[in-house]
Structure formats: structure tokens, C-alpha cells
Amino acid sequence: MNSYCFCGLALGKKYRSCAVNVARDLEKYHPGIQYLILTDEPRDFQDLSNVIAIKHIQDSIMFPYNDRRFAIEKALERYDMTIQIDTDIRLIKSLVFPEQFNNLDGVFGTIKNLKAHLTRYQPENIPYYEKVAQKLDIDFENAPYVGEFIFAVGKNLKKEEEFIYYWGIIAKYLEIHRLHGADGPVMGLAAAKAGLPTYPSEWSDMIEREFVEHLKFSSGKNKIQKSDWEKLKFRVAYHYRLNKQRILALKDFNFYYND
């Protein structure tokens, strides 16, 4: 298997605590493999020998989903492949890896047709995805969707760098138009634009079903409850990032605003 690491995003006290647990689980079940974390407080990880903790300030406007691209970018600067895994999980046994990981040259995980996925879960948002695909000359009808829970990205002649770049462009376009959902559709469009291959597999579904406990802090019964003060800070930060990105997007007015 090529050189690889795990990577993830841990912003906020609750997610940092979760990431510490993930790091300990990885040290137990995958000793010697590094876990690269982008976090707002790297000191929380200073006693964990298998963690590369990198300071990060949220870039995404509302939710930080699309900031995972920065973790993948940093990981691929150091390794041939990285496995991105949600922070709000606990490993219950060693993960198994498919043979394809020996020479992965693209995105591997739960890959579906993007239009079919959006038709089922976000039909009201399809026009926005179609518009940004049209602006970037992406074949929307055949573009993929990438499941976000766990997936792997391998290097491919710099196409992975284009993938990260277009991920950021597409995410900004959608967020400026107030689409703040998960990053799976964005990754799919970015991979299509970059020409980075996507490899569908039931591996990630099997991992979630049999190898981890998924706590799901962003939804469901374990959803994090915020105090009134935390809600206020969230709203202030949201409007600050929104206005900042709107101003920056004026540099390419036709792309972001001329529909």
C-alpha cells in the first residue's frame, strides 16, 4: 500500500474531543499511521504522537464541511494517499483496505450519480448545481456524487490539486447563493472538472456499518445543542464570512453573480 495517512477536520471543543478519541482509536488499531487534523486548537493534540495538528480558521461561510479540502490538500503534500474520515466516530476494530488502495489515483468511496442523488434529497437546489456546472463546462448529467463519511483520495499527475482548487471555487459559488449543505455534491463536480477518476465501492458503507460507531453530531439524536451565546457567535461569524466572500467574489463578478 502506498504511503498514506488519515485526515479530518476538528473545529470547536466537541469535535476536538471527538478527534482525540479517533486519534487514540487509530493508534490502537492502526499503529504507525499518522492522523492529520485541521483544528482551531492544535494544543489539544500535542500529547498524541500519531497526530499532525495544523492550525485552521474556518473558511466556509456557514458550516465547515467544505474546509475538509484543506485537510486533504495538506495530507497529499505529505503522502501519496489520504483517507478522510468523519470526526464524530469511534473505531471498534481495525479497518480493512481494498486492494485498489495499493495504487489509488483518484477518489474512492461511495460514488453515485449526482443528479439522481440531488433529485432524491435536494430537488429544489438542482438549478444551482446545474448553473455552476454550466459555468465550468461540467457534464452535469454524468457528474458523480461522493459520500462524505469516509473516502480516500490518491495522487494523479496533479489532478488532485485541480480537484482541491475547483472544490473551493464551486463551494464558494454555492455558499454565496446560500446553499450550505454537505460537500458530497461539490466534491463530485470538482472531480469531474479536474478529470480526477472516481471509483464507486461499497467499502465505505461496510466501514460505517461494521467497523465504526457513527455518533452523528451534526444530525440525529446526538446533535450538538448550542447555548444562546454560542448561537449569537455563530450568527455573527456567519454574516462576517458571508459578507467577506461576497466582496471577494466581486473580483469575478460574471462567474459568481451574472446568472
CA distances (Å), origin 178, targets 104, 127, 235:
34, 13, 14
What pLDDT does 130 receive? 97
What pLDDT does 222 receive? 58
What pLDDT does 249 receive? 86
What pLDDT does 223 receive? 60
What pLDDT does 200 receive? 96
The secondary structure element, H or E, covering residue 40 is none
Q: How confident is the model at residue 221 (pLDDT cuts 50, 70, 90)?
A: low
Cβ contact 189:166 at 8 Å:
yes
40-63 pLDDT, tens digit per residue, is: 999 999 999 999 999 999 999 999
What pLDDT does 187 receive? 97
Residue 220 in this model has a pLDDT that exceeds 60: no
What pLDDT does 218 receive? 61
Q: How confident is the model at residue 172 (pLDDT cuts 50, 70, 90)?
A: very high
The stretch 4-14 carries a mean pLDDT of 96
CA distances (Å), origin 70, targets 28, 123, 151, 179:
26, 28, 15, 20
Task: Give the end-to-end CA distance of the chain in Å, rounded to a whole number.
Answer: 46
102-157 pLDDT, tens digit per residue, is: 999 999 999 999 999 999 999 999 999 999 999 999 999 999 999 999 999 999 99
Q: Global pTM?
A: 0.92
Residue 232 in this model has a pLDDT that exceeds 80: no
From CA 161, how far away is CA 68, in angstroms rounded? 14
What pLDDT does 236 receive? 83
Question: What is the percent of the chain with per-residue pLDDT over 70, rounded to a whole number?
Answer: 96
Residue 178 in this model has a pLDDT that exceeds 80: yes
63-107 pLDDT, tens digit per residue, is: 999 999 999 999 999 999 999 999 999 999 999 999 999 999 999
What pLDDT does 215 receive? 84
Residue 25 in this model has a pLDDT that exceeds 90: yes
CA distances (Å), origin 66, targets 24, 135, 214:
25, 20, 20
